[in-house]
A and B are shown apart, each in its own frame.
Chain A
Amino acid sequence: MQFIVEDVVTHLAVKVTEPRIDAAIATPFKDKLREIVVKSRKPIHLDMASVDFMDSSGLGAMIAVRKSLPQNLGMVLCALTPNVERVFRLTRMDSVFDIRPLTAQKEHRE
Chain B
Amino acid sequence: MTPIERSEPKRSTRASAQVQPMFHRVLSAQPETVRDTLQDVRRRFQGEVSDDTLGRLELVLAEVMNNVAEHAPAGAGAPDDSVRLPVIHLCIVRHTNGLACALTDDGVSLPDECILPRSLPALVMDDLPEGGFGWFLIQDLTQALCYYRESQRNYLAFSIPFAQSGAA
Contact = CB atoms under 8 A, between A and B. Distances in A.
Interface of A: 20, 22-24, 53, 55-57, 59-61, 63-64, 66-67, 82-83, 86-87, 90-92, 95-96
A82 B55 contact: yes
B34 A24 contact: yes
Contacts of A87: 59, 133, 137
Given A82-B52, A91-B120, A63 B66 contact: no
Contacts of B34: 22-24
Given A83-B58, A86-B56, A56 B70 contact: no
A23 B137 contact: no
Given A23-B69, A24-B35, A55-B62, A91 B133 contact: yes
Given A24-B32, A55-B63, A92 B120 contact: yes
Interface string B125-141: 10111110110110011
Main secondary structure of the interface of A (DSSP, over half): helix
Interface residues of B, number: 30
Interface in B62-117: 62-63, 66, 69-70
Interface in B23-74: 31-32, 34-35, 38, 51-52, 55-56, 58-59, 62-63, 66, 69-70
B137 A96 contact: no
A63 B128 contact: yes
B69 A86 contact: no
B141 to A, nearest CB: 8
